[in-house]
Structure 1
Amino acid sequence: MATTPQLSVPDQIRQLQDARKLVLSDVSYYPQVIQATLPIIGPSAQVEFRRWGAEFLSEAFATPAVPLGQKETLSLLVLETLKLLVEDPNQDVVVLRSVIQTAASVYPLALRWIINNAYDTTTWDRMTVIKTRILRIWETAPPTVRICCIKFAQRVVLAQTPSVNPEPRRGDPLDISLLMIPPNHTVLEVPSLEAEASGLLDRMLGVLQDNSSDALIVDATLNTLSILIRARPGTSNRILNAILNFNPLKLASGPMTPKIKVIVRSMEKTTRMLLTHLSRRDSRNPHVGRIHQYLERLMQARAEVFDGASRKRAHVEQDGLDAKRQRMAALPQEFQIPPMAAGPHSLADVFSLTSNEGLKTFDVSVVPAALAAKISVTTIARIDPKLLDRVLNGVRDRLTALYQVAQQADNPETASLDVEDDDDYEPDYYAAEDNEQILNKLDSSEPSSSNRELQKPAVLSNFALPTFKLPPPPALNPDQAAVVGQGTVTRVFGVMSTLDEPASKKTKAGINRLAASSYDKDSWLTIITRLATRAPAGLNDVSVKDEHNSASASRINMSNSIRESLYAYVLDDFRKRIDIAVSWLNEEWYNDRVQQIAASDSARDVPLHYDKWALRMLDGFLPYLHAQDRVLTRFLSEIPDLNAAILGRVKTLCRDPTLVSLALNSLLYLVMMRPPVRNLALDAVQDIWKEYDEARPMAGKYLTKWRPGFLEAQQQLENGGGTPTGPQTVAAV
């Protein structure tokens, strides 16, 4: 007797998808489809069928379109399958995640069933085994599974705590709580269930009490607490105390990397939104005052961490006083510098511009040098230039007057002669000296000029300063030089936060533009990218005989430090800074080509950087893309060179069904607008068609237009070969 050939796995999945579309259009088919597919999605089925089945069950019990009574009946059918799937220690993560989500939806239904049907202990035993297994793997599972475990624990706490509804049987049918359990129930014990719920709540809040830095777990926990506070007021005090003692900005006290910034922003925003929602929903809550104080402190701490450098000080109102700072231009224009009085003066007297004796006697040495320098630079930068010129001229006049007094005291006509003061002195008369004698006398009297300097009046004695020489700098070893160089790179990037954006994009002149033509952010970035690419060209491959020197040279590779800082700077806000990444990669590509041409004559290898950093940039921002992003298309269209490795990264986006259109549209843009890489892009579309079933309709449409005949050849290949690999799908489905 002839048997029909068994369908392949993709064909069976396609039939199962057709059954899913049927129940989405008419929910009355859910019982038939679930009963027909349970044998196919069991624990012994292939992973593709288990993934589809677990996701289908999760969707079926989560949809509000199915009546509650029908869900309760269906839950009795799937409990055994869920138990077998969750007990497998080597279960697929995707399957395990969907099974836990299904169990979270089924648990209140199973509790309601056992409340009304105490004889069915088998069903409750299965549900208890599933709950025990999920709570056991909670702490050791991957983060995505732990998030599902938190949701399951929330549903257990909701079901095993008293409700606010005084008559739950006549209230909301979805609100299942301990109040529905009769006092003399033979299976369920209210005290033990309530104690278990209290322990699970403490376990959930332990993440906040320990100030965990895992943003995924913290956000998942915070997102489940709002329903507990609203539906179970008995737990609100414990939950609010845990939230108000939680510090989402704990990581901000250390070094702030782009990853830590994202984590801190995520936890801070989730905490703030939760507390804002709670305060607005119940304005009479006794905790509203504490919530508002916490939110104010949180906002202030957030401002200090993220935008404290660019924020101005707040204006403080004072009673009867004008707290505004006066502008420097408001100084009186008739300000004059008084001349110096007669008598000896110190250097401080020359530069004193005030007549206030209190200010004159103030000891400025108590002010830290760094603070004094900052105040001086800020004051000079903001002072009126005309007033500054007037002050400089006044100080210059003082010095000129003192100099003239010193010159008069040192005049040879009034200076003392080198003879003894004697009232009976009378000069002798000598014969006239000839020229040679006069010259010899002048030569012999030159060394005494230094003595005359010592006899100057005391008016300038306080101005004599010793010769100052800077001490020699300490010797730097290679490790210290690397640290100092990295600090220099960090300060260079810090300058860009104070620069303005370029006034117009029309001023760019391409790759041959002058980097320092204007002092804006675009010019500064051009300098940085060329320092990373062109400046060290040919220096990194110099052969060094000493191994120690070679290791040191690799540690002090300043260009790589700049590249790492550029990479971190772009990823910090890659949607706004993608043009910086494109400019940088253009410089890298240009430098690689120039170095290859220069090295072709000497037959030496040169390090290439373009491919490495292009792939790193893609790996950095691909996980954060969403379906409406245009960053990927712009990046692929503007970078100078594309290869199979870069397009291979684009293909990986198709693992997420929501990003299939983004990946394929980006490749289609390359096919249409970049003919040199058209074949590479079409090869990537072919690979997507072969590897990802969800992308086949869209990829097939593109291939039909740009590579006619490919789909027919693949269809002939599939019809001509292939062996059955999966169980036979139920024909009735």
Structure 2
Amino acid sequence: MGSSSQSLAQLEAARGLALGDGRYYPTIIPGVLPIIGVNANATLEVQRWGADFLAETFASPTWAPDVKASSALTVLPTLHEFVEATDASIVKSAIQAAACIYPLVYRHIISDPNDKQSWQIMSTIKSSILRRMDSAIPGVRICCVKFVQQVVLVQTPGQTADPRRQDPNDISLSHVPRDHPLIPYANLEAEASGLLDRLLDTLHSDYSDALLVTATLNTLGALIQRRPVIANKILNSVLNFNPLKLANSPMTPKNKVLIRSLERTTRALLVNVLKRNPESSVNVRIQQYLERMHRMRVDAFDEASRKRPAPVEPTDGLDTAKRQRLGATLPPTKEPTYPPLPPGPVSYRQLYTLDPTASTANFDVQIFQDRDQLVRILVSVLHSIDETKLNNAVNAVRARYNTYLQDASRHAAPPNITAAVDEEEEYEPDFEPEDAEQVINRLDSVGPDEIARRALPEATIAPYKLPDAPPLTEQEVQRYGEETIRRAFSMLSAMEEPPAKTKVPKGGFNRLAASNFDRDSWITIMSRLATRAPSGLDDPEEGIKAEYGRIAKRGSFALAEAIRDGLYNYIMYDWKRRLDLAISWLNEEWYNDRLHAEAAEKNFRSVSNGKGSSRPDIRGNYKKCALRLLDGLVAYIEGTDKVLVRFMSEIPEIDREILQRMKRMAEDPERIELAILVLQYLYMFRPPVRSICVDVLEDMWRTNDRAKPSARKFLIKWRPEVLQSENEVKMESTNGTLEVKPVS
């Protein structure tokens, strides 16, 4: 028992470390697995802790998905043991962990078809979970529903069928190649369709298990939002679902709770669908369904209050109203009698309790935590009370109160003034503050000498200075810098697009970075932080090499790369509208590289002093950033997007490697004309790159058969000798027909 508690204490310490920083998960998981495994002879408490830890670990968003995927492969054997366990809490946590791990293993198998062992273990876990879905206890079945939702999500095609436009974070069937050897496309799609039918059948089966039906309804919202392919099928099934079916059975308190739970969950699901897709064609059906369900709920729960109550028959054979019309004499009504108050002190409860023997006298209203619910109950109770009885009860309470006041004044003893004064002088509690009048009365009884003696001595307050903050470590500086960068880009994402400006701002590299505090100003600040801040350009006393060494120790290069990654992601999120920001960023990178090159050349001349030494190789960031942006644009751009022409014409420097991307883009038949249009524009309006444009066009003409007709039109004007030497054709007449032969 002692070793088990000691192990749990150590495991909790490791868990707390990982919760503080998600980067520790990859190092903690390998050390935890040998302790929590079933084959490691671990106690039941340790196994439960291990299952909860795995479910919490892979549901945490604080560590990278790529690292999480590699760690998921190592926990598969342990997870298989937990799924086959007999303890319900272990099985529930294991199924929740499997729901988080399944998409990660699925994406790993797509990229690595040779890892059959991992997929076999994952398939075994999936089969075990699906077998438990219909026969396990309710808690385990709810976890199985969550796992089935994840399987349907990853094995159903995504929102777009174009692989170039797929979201890498949204794992779906669209990422699976049609000829995958380990996970065939058709088998996965059929399995997902069957599991979805199995999930929807839960809505139309036994309604007594409201927990399972509610869990199923809660999982359908994500499927409708992220998988439009199956959204209509799910909505049709939900619109055929009747959450008020149990209203036909006896309305026991349990059935009332079940009906209200199912009805509210269904209404919340459909209302969210209406909010997310206000223009959908199925919204009319949803509105009609919600109105019909509202009427059914009113009929089911408010039937007793809507119907007219049955008439109360008179006990003596004649109604009171009829007696008045017939002129009959009414029997004298007896006024109710109430017991008097007990002697001595009386509480409010005794004053207002007219019938101490009734059951309502012992009812404690403090059990109502909801104040609105208590008000609704009181209003309905007051409506049902007879007005005559209520007036009689009020008069009785008023009479009892008057009697109590008379008795209290009659039996009150004459006050003892001396004793009261003594008590008042002796009773001075410290916790009750004195008001202004008491302070004045007390000071009047004290002489001026006593007041001067009791006065506080004058004291000068020394200046207070906050202690200096402790110095930050390199890791803290790096972490705080990354958090600042994330907050800056989150603010940029929430910022609106700049309005049309009537006055053109001053341009150039020496312009103020932030004069208007708009989106463009913040982008300029971020790009200059990434380029100029870690380069040492503002410190003329230090050389480039010394600055590089100093920055490498401090970690500023890592922050600069983090800013560049943030700029890239921000631009690519809406690249058509933010292309001007990309051009501005590349201009800053190019300008920074030029300054680096000039500083390095100046340093080389001062150090070499005319001696024959090799020049330093300065590798800038402009080309790397330009190629990265261009590769990202080429993946999404279409043949009709002329914005690529603007981008290529406004970036500050172009070389052969950058223009080779146009050749790669021309491999798509739909984008050949766009690639050649870019080369034509650069040839006409950027003379320094004319030769490179013609070289790329010639290479495209030689290697791409589909681009030959379009490239030939420009090669005839720009480089005709290529066509004459290699691709010239001649026509030969043979038997009166024309035959085309290549020149040898």
Confirm or deny a common fold (TM above 0.5). Answer: no
Relative contact order higher in (CA < 8 Å, ≥ 6 apart): 1
TM-score when normalising by structure 2: 0.44
TM-score when normalising by structure 1: 0.44
